[in-house]
Amino acid sequence: MRYAHLNRLFTIFMNSQSQMQELDFLLVGHDKEVLEQDARVLQQAGHKNIRIVRSGIEARHVLKNSRVHFVITDLQMPCMNGIELLRLIRRTPGLSDIPVLIISDNRQKEMILHAIDEKVDGYLATPYRAEDLRQSITNIHKRRKLTALQNELRLARHLILAKNYDKAIDKAKGVLAQDKNNSDALFLLSEGYYWQRELDKAKQFLTMYLKENPASGKGMHLLSKVCRLDGAYGDAFGLLLKAHKENPLNLDLAIDLGKFYLEMDMEDKAREIFAAVMSAGPTDLNLIKMGKAFLKKGRPEDAAAYLDTTIQPLPETAFIFALLGQKLGDGGNLEAAARQFRKCLELVPGQPEYLVKLAEIYLQQGDVAQAKEALGQCLRSHPGHAQARKLLEPIARGAG
């Protein structure tokens, strides 16, 4: 069967999901009173399995460990905002089909277009009535009754997420054969060819997509990436600048533009862009991207200015803080380096490499007791760790 591998993956996923808690709705936001009010509206409509969480980070954990059928999320959240949560859902196999309704007091056209660009199912402006919430959910369910072509596009998106680009391209081409201006098919083809590094074809379909969707920051952003891979840096920069001007509220675009300025050694312009991002209330993911940009330029102190302001970064980002710690240590700033590795261990408790690196820094500082404690912790969970044993031996002999 052509899609036997994907079907097996889907079966494995569904079997694992069958053991998970079923949630009709996951409500995400910072305002407890509003969340509880919305939960009552849903309960009155007959829904029993409802979970409330107060951040995108908590939502991510629930999505990983439960079968969630509908997400309602606030837009403005500090560590991971509603757009970032939406993007996570759309880009994660097994989650990408979950309906998402974003709720916000931001009525700006650019923000709504940004959410639409990321495939939101609905956008409800506050304040709203109970009936408005019920109607939004009903409308989303009606729109999600897929036609045959829409189902083919859904399968193509799944194939892209599974990195099965050839079959995704075949699916998208089949849709275009029946609907030659289908925007979703054009974008999926562009993505497939981009990942396969068939840049001319990616450009061809992105140009067609942008003709149908001229304000799509997502489309311009991808075309900019294609141009950079093709060595057309001027075109890439122009597209990124245009995308940012079309939607200045898309902080990811703004940060990528700032990174481009840094790469072109136009630091004043980069700092101007990053300052605007900081004044807009960046999330942890935004801060980490800006920090990484300065790390790439070999500027750990500048990177720390962004990374040290994160609130609850994801465990997967610990390696960025470790890289910062390494660079700070190489520059002789041992206390700042130790602080970064302690943060790594808050994100990934007990990680042996971080414990060993922290011990090395303590030894450089002459703090043998702290070094011994870190190495002992490492060896209790990883008794065969060679570097930890090597560092601990002279300490033990000295104590003896």
> For residues 84 and 56, is the Cβ–Cβ distance under 8 A?
yes
pLDDT for res 395: 86
pLDDT for res 17: 47
The set of residues, in sequence order, having a beta carbon less than 8 Å from that of 169 and lying 6+ positions away, is 188, 189, 192, 193, 196
Cα–Cα distance between 198 and 176 in angstroms, integer? 19
pLDDT for res 280: 92
Instruction: Return residue ranges of the chain for CATH 1.25.40.10.
Output: 314-400
DSSP for residue 121: S
pLDDT for res 400: 46
> For residues 364 and 371, is the Cβ–Cβ distance under 8 A?
no
Cα–Cα distance between 202 and 186 in angstroms, integer? 9
Domain 4-143 class in CATH: alpha beta
Cα–Cα distance between 128 and 138 in angstroms, integer? 15
**213-225 per-residue burial string, b: 16 or more CB within 10 A, e: under 16:** beebbbbbbbbbb
Which parts of the chain register pLDDT below 50?
1-6, 9-10, 12-14, 17, 400
Instruction: Return residue ranges of the chain for CATH 3.40.50.2300.
Output: 4-143
pLDDT for res 193: 98
Q: What pLDDT digit, counting tens, does each position of 16-61 carry?
A: 545 678 999 999 999 999 999 999 999 999 998 999 999 999 999 9
Q: What pLDDT digit, counting tens, does each position of 136-154 carry?
A: 999 999 988 888 899 999 9
Amino acid in the structure at residue 271: R
pLDDT for res 275: 97
* Topology given in CATH for the domain delimited by 314-400: 1.25.40
**159-174 per-residue burial string, b: 16 or more CB within 10 A, e: under 16:** bbbbebbebbbebbee
Cα–Cα distance between 59 and 74 in angstroms, integer? 11
pLDDT for res 18: 52
